[in-house]
Amino acid sequence: MERWNLAGTTGMKLSELISALSHALDMTEGQPPGHCMRCCWIGMHLADQLGLDDAARWELYYTLLLKDLGCSSNAARICQLYGTDDLGFKRDFKWVNGSLTQVIRFLLQHTGRDAGVAERFKRLLNIARNGESIATELIATRCERGASIARDLGFSESVAAGIHSLDEHWSGTGQPEQRSGEAIPLYSRVALLAQVVEVFHAAAGPDAALDEARARSGHWFDPALVKALEQAAESADFWSMLASPELPERVLALSPAGHEIEVNEDYLDRVAAAFGQVVDAKSPYTAGHSERVALYTDLIAEQLDIEPQRRRWLRRGALLHDIGKLGVSNSILDKPGKLDADEWQQVQNHARFTEEILSRIGVFSELAQVAGAHHERLDGKGYPKQLKAEQITRETRIITTADIFDAITAERPYRGAIPVAQALEMMAENLHTAIDADCFAALKAAIQELDVAEVNAGAGL
């Protein structure tokens, strides 16, 4: 079996790691790949016009890349309240300028589109009565979670505050605290303007982006920042670089030197755990899933006498195995009934997304293959590549076994949690076809003294 290389982890720059993972955050907002990086390009050019020092530029840089860190946490609630696809809802809401006409049009287009007349009316009535409190709830959930995870990643309180106040408006009409003017952190003000400019530029070009920024100046946006945007836009490559294949390299070059967090083994563990939280926050049915799969993966690996360094590496893969689910709508992930063919294909896409995201990270390139294959089967009937048994590594087989065990013993949208004894019987029926026999035996040995119910409740993790 091939041995995976862990060398060189301390040589990776933080900007390379975070910019790569920002593609997962693009998915949570229904945005095209590179959205956060393009926002970073725009925002850092505003920093040039503002004359920010290197310390402030460093904090702004990571605020821009991580602005959507908490966005997965309100996805399920959006589906529940509006009866719609959370990804399309979030994507299209970025076009809404807050005017009553646009808000009403948006709600009519996105609320209960596939529901009957009575159900749709019920949802719209609830929104009409409680719209402000609903908006505050959704944005507060996202902002608080994003700020919390930023702190977990070791970023300063200024970065956390920048993420927390992303949706505040200059005039005091934003959320979640209705801050106004300079009471809104500068990084938040820059990030919001960069976000809107990026969305309008991607869809309609530079003139539309500038027109929208000017139209919202003094209401959504700090007028001084809009002037800074106009000045930055005079640069020859300001707009053209947003559509250039050179953008990732140019964004990496914008990261200020001298303020780096060291990307060592401990920090890679920290990043994997933090983004595991981002994934698990997407659905109430996946709360704690990545962490439990990581626990079971480590226990199985220990039983199989895998060396501690390899176990540590594999645990990261377990924490991130479902990161591709950020690109799948909760209207599908949380659906209580049977999925149709198109929905099932979208679910299967998550494994491919996982490999694509992790492959962007140099030190995770091999781990991407292991984690991305966790739905492959020994009989070749898995997905996304229909790998045969001899093509599936032992590391993948371990994560697969852990994932299946947690999927069965945890609650799901369509059923309650299944007792451990019954779960093991179900898994035994799939030995040699979906589940590796050695990994299954190791799982059984590992959980003998483990209270799975307590693990599911969050104890001991």
- Spell out the per-residue pLDDT of the chain, length 461, in tens: 233 333 344 578 999 999 999 999 999 999 999 999 999 999 999 999 999 999 999 999 999 999 999 999 999 999 989 999 999 999 999 999 888 899 899 898 889 877 888 888 888 888 888 888 888 899 999 999 999 999 999 999 999 999 999 999 999 999 999 999 999 999 999 999 999 999 999 999 999 999 999 999 999 999 999 999 999 999 989 999 999 999 999 999 999 987 778 899 999 999 999 999 999 999 988 889 999 999 999 999 999 999 999 999 999 999 999 999 999 999 999 988 899 999 999 999 999 999 999 999 999 999 999 999 999 999 999 999 999 999 999 999 999 999 999 999 988 767 788 899 999 999 999 999 999 999 999 999 999 877 766 666 664 45
Query: Coil, strand or helix: which one is 431?
Result: strand
pTM of the predicted model as reported, rounded to 2 decimal places? 0.92
Domain 34-262 shares a fold with domain 265-456? yes
181 with 223: CB under 8 angstroms? no
Q: Where are the domains of the chain?
A: 34-262, 265-456
Whether 325 is a known active-site residue: answer: yes
Point out the catalytic residue in the list 325, 335, 338, 444. Answer: 325
* Number of Cβ atoms within 10 Å of the Cβ of 136: 15
Q: What is the tens place of the pLDDT at every residue in 225-263?
A: 999 999 999 998 999 999 999 999 999 999 998 777 889
10 with 264: CB under 8 angstroms? yes
Q: Class assignment of domain 265-456?
A: mainly alpha
Q: With 0-12 CB in 10 A as exposed, 13-18 as middle and 19+ as buried, what is 460?
A: exposed
Token reading at 451? 């209270």
> Does domain 34-262 fall into CATH 1.10.3210?
yes
Token reading at 241? 């670089």
CA distances from 406 to 297, 306, 359, 423, 448 (A): 11, 21, 25, 9, 15
The confidence score (pLDDT) of residue 85 equals 92
387 with 378: CB under 8 angstroms? no
Closest to 199 (Cα-Cα) out of 384, 422, 31: 31
